[in-house]
Structure 1
Amino acid sequence: MPELPEVEALTDFLAERLVGRGIERVLPTAVSVLKTYDPPLVDLQGRAVTAVRRHGKFLDVVTDDGPHLVFHLARAGWLRWREDLPEAPPRPGKGPLALRVRLAGGDGFDLTEAGTRKRLAVYCVREPADVPGIAGLGPDPLAPEFTLEAFAALLRDERRQLKGVLRDQSVIAGIGNAYSDEILHAARMSPFKLAASLTDEETAALYQALGTTLREAVERSRGHAAAELKAEKKGGMRVHGRTGQPCPVCGDTIREVSFSDSSLQYCPTCQTGGKPLADRRLSRLLK
């Protein structure tokens, strides 16, 4: 799933190619992809793109005095830029193509989604806040107003585990499964530590790890074409997706905890005092 750094890079990538250009057609090919009906997609046709923005993990294509085209790539979605799109509209079918945006001039991009669980979402709205997922977003961790004091206030009354808090988009926007693993490893904290139990020193350390991890990932992603971002993300991970490999900090074996539809990775030496964590279905630490 693309997270804040990759979506930030996609925002820059699209802004370079879309701003000042006219939208010729927006063509959905998957029944499940379009989540709104008013305004209709045809209202985007003939309008010029004035900006491309990011809201958490959402991409927002802004048009001149017209609707916003907002999309969330979800777990298996992706954006594919194409220099020469066919003039004929694509046929709806069972393939990965979910929506096509063709610009005046013939280039544009496809939104695709692999697998059978279709979660990629596209919205045509008058304002970004009309998208429920955007309206409920917490603060952006790269925004200037996201200070240590603001972060501490978010955690103060949180009785949940850090892993869940970092992934909750209503608490902090843009962090998903992968970067929450990376942040917690950099902060040397267990993913199951309760957020409200952090000392002032631990809160400061987690805040520093969060900012550093995300900013470094954004810099690594910046300038890459859309097709390269998945590999760039994977290559920059230190613990996430690296079960069984040595920790790059201490050399211990990276462990995994599996859930019904996801997993987390961590280093026992760096994060849990050397104790392997039990599968959460057991709800306890291995002794």
Structure 2
Amino acid sequence: MPEMPEVQGLVDYLRLKLLPPDAPAAVIADVEVLSFPVLKTAAVPLEELYAGPVSDVVRRGKFLVVTAGGVHLVMHLAKAGWLRWSDGLKPGRLRPGRGPMALRVRLAASGDAAAEPGFDLTEAGTRKSLAVYVVRDLADVPGVARLGPEALDVDAAAFGELVASHHGQIKGLLRDQSVIAGIGNAYSDEILHAAHLSPFAIGARLRPDEVQRLFDAMGAVLDSAIANASGRPAAELKDSKRLAMRVHARSGEPCPVCGDTVREVAFADSSLQYCPTCQTGGKLLADRRMSRLLK
């Protein structure tokens, strides 16, 4: 799933394409909905996006927002969605179908160029969760309205209060978008590994020094990931994310810190990875479907 660093990388890339510093802003010429369930709103016509040039490209949590014509095109890539940029889309509209294509945004050709640039939203697999909204107010998007503060905007004191009031597992707090926006399954694994904390540690039971370690790790991991994504074309962001992971999706591989084997806990529709030596005092965490620790 694209998380805050990758979405920020997409924002930076799209900003250069849609709001070039040495040329006029791009103009949206057409939006093709190729998978009808992807569009979650109907009150604002798509045509309002064509009324004026792109004026902003921003991120809020894991949401990507392109503003044009005074309205917002809001995109959430969900678990298997992605954005693909093209400097020259083929002419003609596409036919909706069952493939990965969900939505196409075509831009007006600029200057003497004949090619129309633009981008596609795609989604792999059969479980379709990618969501697109066209709204006049970002608060009209339910997921945006529920977001907590951005992960890198929270100071140490506020973070400490959030942790102290959380009586569930700390991994769940990091992933709860209504508490802290932008962190998902992958970076919560990486943050907890860097903080040397178990994903099943209870937030309210953490010592002050552990809370500080967690806060410092959150900033360091996200700052590094954003720097890694910065300046990369959209096509490279997924691979660069995978290569930078230390424990996430590396079950069975050696921990780069201590050399122990990275372990995994499987859930019904996801999994987490951790290092026993670095994070759990050597204990192996049981599959949560068993609801207990291995003895």
Please report the TM-score for the alignment, with normalisation by the length of structure 2: 0.95
Does the CA-based 8 Å contact 1:239-1:247 persist in structure 2?
A: yes
| Percentage of identical aligned residues | 60
- Report the equivalent of 2:255: 247
* Cα distance in 2 between the residues matched to 1:219 and 1:127: 30
1:198-233 per-position Cα deviation (integer Å, ceiling 9, x unaligned): 111111110000000000000011011000000000
* Cα distance in 2 between the residues matched to 1:78 and 1:47: 26
Deviation at 1:87, TM superposition (A): 2.7
- Report the equivalent of 2:14: 14
The list of structure 1 runs, each at least 4 consecutive aligned residues, that deviate by more than 4 angstroms after superposition, is: none
* Cα distance in 2 between the residues matched to 1:142 and 1:103: 33
1:83-141 per-position Cα deviation (integer Å, ceiling 9, x unaligned): 11123111101111100000011100000011100000000000111100000001101
Does the CA-based 8 Å contact 1:23-1:45 persist in structure 2?
A: yes
Q: Equivalent residue of 2:134, what SS?
A: strand
Alignment partner of 1:135 out of 124, 145, 153 = 145
Alignment partner of 1:156 out of 152, 164, 175 = 164
Deviation at 1:45, TM superposition (A): 1.7
Deviation at 1:21, TM superposition (A): 0.9
* Cα distance in 1 between the residues matched to 2:102 and 2:47: 17
Alignment partner of 1:59 out of 49, 57, 64 = 64
Does the CA-based 8 Å contact 1:26-1:45 persist in structure 2?
A: no
Amino acid at match of 1:134: V
Q: Equivalent residue of 2:120, what SS?
A: strand
Deviation at 1:63, TM superposition (A): 1.7
Does the CA-based 8 Å contact 1:30-1:98 persist in structure 2?
A: yes
Q: CA RMSD in A?
A: 0.8
Q: Equivalent residue of 1:44, what SS?
A: helix
* Cα distance in 1 between the residues matched to 2:205 and 2:79: 31
The answer to whether 1:70 aligns with 2:78 is: no
- Report the equivalent of 2:42: 37
1:143-188 per-position Cα deviation (integer Å, ceiling 9, x unaligned): 2xx1000101111211110111111100110100000000000000
Where in structure 1 are there 5+ consecutive unaligned residues?
none
Aligned runs of 1:156-235 on 2, under 5 Å? 156-235=164-243
Does the CA-based 8 Å contact 1:83-1:107 persist in structure 2?
A: yes
Does the CA-based 8 Å contact 2:57-2:64 persist in structure 1?
A: yes
Does the CA-based 8 Å contact 2:51-2:68 persist in structure 1?
A: no
* Cα distance in 1 between the residues matched to 2:162 and 2:32: 41
* Cα distance in 1 between the residues matched to 2:54 and 2:168: 41
Q: Equivalent residue of 2:152, what SS?
A: coil
* Cα distance in 1 between the residues matched to 2:65 and 2:152: 17
Does the CA-based 8 Å contact 1:185-1:270 persist in structure 2?
A: yes
Where in structure 2 are there 5+ consecutive unaligned residues?
20-24, 110-115
Please report the TM-score for the alignment, with normalisation by the length of structure 1: 0.98
Does the CA-based 8 Å contact 1:24-1:46 persist in structure 2?
A: no
Q: Equivalent residue of 1:207, what SS?
A: helix
- Report the equivalent of 2:103: 99
Does the CA-based 8 Å contact 1:74-1:120 persist in structure 2?
A: yes
Aligned runs of 1:265-280 on 2, under 5 Å? 265-280=273-288
